[in-house]
Amino acid sequence: MNYRHEFHAGNFADVFKHILLSRILLYLRAKPAAFRYIETHAGSGLYELASAGAGKTAEWSGGIGRLAPASPAPPLRELLGPYLEIEAPFLQKDPPHYAGSPLIAKALLRRQDKMLLCELHPRAFEKLKAVLGGEPGVKLFAMDGYMGLRAFVPPKERRGLVLIDPPFEDPGEFEAAADTLGKAWRKWPGGIYMIWHPVKDPAAAAAFGRNLAQRGIKRILRLEFQVSRPALQLPLARCGAFIVNPPYLLPSEAKRILPWLAACLGAGEPGFSINWLEGH
Ligand code: SAM
């Protein structure tokens, strides 16, 4: 378990994932009934962009570093504004910081909503505890997120979002993620699930989608986004998200957001795709 998200915090892949996260949580907030946010791989919550990790790779400069100063015109401003407003006070710190998914979600949860976050790496967990420990409605678990997810669903609210955001360092990660999602979905078919994944080998990403569909999971939206042509070697240039039971407006919002984001963050051969897996 060598993965350290601080090297990648705020890069194009985080921006893509966190914009989608904010749009889904805003949809859940639109109804007064409480919802639950569950995250299997939470990370440490907050990242210093000038640190030895983030500063060394400077991946954030091609992600939030480009997006934050850009000024999207309406209606994109409305779609991206909530995410950018959450990040702004962290970016304005000296040194600048980037808020990860737990802090973005916390900013969008209401008093009646709850969040459960798993993080296995002891150092990342300690940081997460320093950032969010003791906050109302927040429970943190220093445990394997796949095991946590199987135990936490269905939540008593019966509405909510699960974010599965593994490091994908281990070749078995796609299978572990698909297996856990399949089991969670059978226990809670009405939940919204988002799995982020890298696209280094487009065939492996496509096989992951087929793997999910073969488990009988319905209504899977596949989104992919690239800043340049994907390659097996680093740096990462393309990533994707499978979203089960996406909010009905998400595909049309993504059609507006992703071309603009590709133009803003593109570095060579930007692009995106949005499609439903067969059988939805
Ligand atoms: N979701 C975070 C965000 O968007 O801000 C980033 C998470 S990062 C991509 C993946 C995290 O998963 C790392 O912090 C890593 O320590 C943690 N991790 C690795 N294996 C895990 C496991 N089996 N269960 C829970 N966390 C794990």
Per-residue pLDDT of 70-96, as tens digits, reads 988 888 999 999 999 999 999 999 999
- pLDDT attached to residue 86: 98
Kindly report which listed range (4-13, 79-88, 89-98, 192-201) carries the lowest average pLDDT score.
4-13
Q: In whole angstroms, what is the distance from residue 14 CA to residue 182 CA?
A: 25
Q: Which residues pair with 271 in a beta bridge?
A: 226
pLDDT at 280 over 70: no
Instruction: Tell which atom from ligand 1 comes closest to the C-alpha of 100.
Output: 5
- pLDDT attached to residue 2: 72
Q: Are 19 and 256 in contact (CB under 8 A)?
A: no
Q: In whole angstroms, what is the distance from residue 91 CA to residue 21 CA?
A: 19
pLDDT at 54 over 80: no
Active site residue 201: no
Query: What sign for the dihedral angle of Cα 199, 236, 192, 274?
Result: negative
Mean pLDDT of the chain: 94
Instruction: Tell which atom from ligand 1 comes closest to the C-alpha of 166.
Output: 10
Nearest residue (CA) to ligand 1, atom 23: 144
Exposure on the CB side of residue 256, measured as CA atoms within 13 A: 15
How far, in Å, is the centroid of ligand 1 from the Cα of 149? Answer: 13
Stretch 31-35: mean pLDDT: 98
Task: Give every CB contact of residue 132 below 8 A, 6+ residues apart in sequence.
Answer: 45, 102, 103, 106, 117, 138, 140
Mutate to test the pocket of ligand 1, among 11, 17, 41, 239 (most ligand atoms within 8 A of CB): 41
How far, in Å, is the centroid of ligand 1 from the Cα of 43? Answer: 5
Give ligand 1 pocket residues (Cβ under 6 A): 1, 3, 5, 17, 40-43, 100-101, 118-121, 124, 144-145, 165, 167
Mutate to test the pocket of ligand 1, among 1, 2, 4, 5 (most ligand atoms within 8 A of CB): 5
Active-site residue, from 165, 170, 179, 201: 165
pTM, two decimal places: 0.97
